[in-house]
Amino acid sequence: MGLTALLENEVVLVSSIDEGDLRKASRGNNLSCHFCLERIVYKHGQIKIPHFAHYTRNPDCDLSNETLEHLSGKLFMMKILPKYNTLTALTVEKIHDRRIYDVYAEMGSAKIAVELQHTVVSSESIEEKINHASQSSIHVLYVLIPGKGYLNYETSRVEGRIIVKESELYLHRTYFGRVYYTNTQSIQSAHFLPATTYVEGREWYDSSGNQNSGGGYEKNLKSRRNLQWFYVFKHPETHRLRLTMNGDVRIATLSEGVFWKK
């Protein structure tokens, strides 16, 4: 799924062309993916938002493997970024050096790429993309979409505990103790707190008859974290971008502010 297509050697946005013209171009096999150049078709039903889809799925093309939630996330970021930031450029599905950035924006001379991540990927994959973008002075902001492994709440008596993925922990370190999530309607910022379990104390005797004891302490869990939210979800938020360096890596973060309804 994607929001852009190649039509008559020009990259067009699905919302910028008349629907009738898109349907005609789709039936005439005149739409192609501007990344892999394979045939794509226009789709717009009663439920799904208008989008382009590959006529035959291409596992080697990122745009061919996106989910509807990923698509909605890109639309949300395209809407929210210019609302609270002074941008000099804004585009979706930007191709740069054989890589696709979900949303690309510029604030003066600063370049920002927003990556929506729905399916779980490795921390190495995220690190490689951030580092590669840094070579072109592009700041990268990763925003995770729950549902396919991210923000996976544990079924336990501890409210708010999640089973964290390696890539979530990597982003938590990269973004100075924050992980950003979106439900494609708002953005939430979370901080991970240690999760512990109590190891019961016990005593035993070894083969020599010596008494031993163990346990009786709280143990940190490696794959569990408690959440501390920094947004009040039901109130309108502002999402202003902030640019920074983390070592030699260029990253973008969100300035957090909550404005209550009057």
pLDDT value, residue 221: 83
Q: How far apart are CA 182 and CA 180, in angstroms?
A: 7
In sign, the C-alpha dihedral spanning 176, 178, 184, 185 is: negative
Same domain assignment for residues 71 and 173: yes
Residue type present at position 75? L
Domain stops at, among 36, 65, 94: 65
pLDDT 10s digits, 104-130:
999 999 999 999 999 999 999 999 999
pTM comes to: 0.83
Higher pLDDT, 11 or 251: 251
Residue 5: phi, psi to the nearest 5? -150, 160
Residue 208: both structure tokens together? 């020599």
pLDDT 10s digits, 12-21:
888 888 888 8
DSSP string, 126-189: HHHHHHHHHTTTEEEEEEEEEEESTTEE--SSSTTEEE--HHHHHHHHHTTS-EEEE-SS-EEE
Of 1-5, 64-68, 195-199, the range with the lowest mean pLDDT is 195-199
pLDDT over 60 at 262, yes or no = no
Same domain assignment for residues 259 and 189: yes
Same domain assignment for residues 171 and 76: yes
As for how many domains the chain has, the answer is 2
Same domain assignment for residues 34 and 88: no
Domain stops at, among 12, 45, 65: 65
pLDDT over 50 at 98, yes or no = yes
The β-bridge relationship of strands 138-148 and 110-119 is parallel
Domain stops at, among 65, 98, 120: 65
The SS3 call for residue 262 is coil
pLDDT value, residue 107: 93
Same domain assignment for residues 142 and 214: yes
pLDDT value, residue 209: 81
Same domain assignment for residues 88 and 103: yes
Same domain assignment for residues 47 and 76: no
Helix, strand, coil share of the chain (percent; to 5): 20, 45, 35
Same domain assignment for residues 61 and 85: no
Same domain assignment for residues 182 and 146: yes
Same domain assignment for residues 202 and 235: yes
Structural domain including 244 reads: 67-262
The average confidence (pLDDT) of the chain is 85
pLDDT over 70 at 235, yes or no = no
pLDDT 10s digits, 191-217:
998 887 767 778 878 888 888 877 676
pLDDT value, residue 261: 36
Same domain assignment for residues 135 and 230: yes
Same domain assignment for residues 46 and 84: no
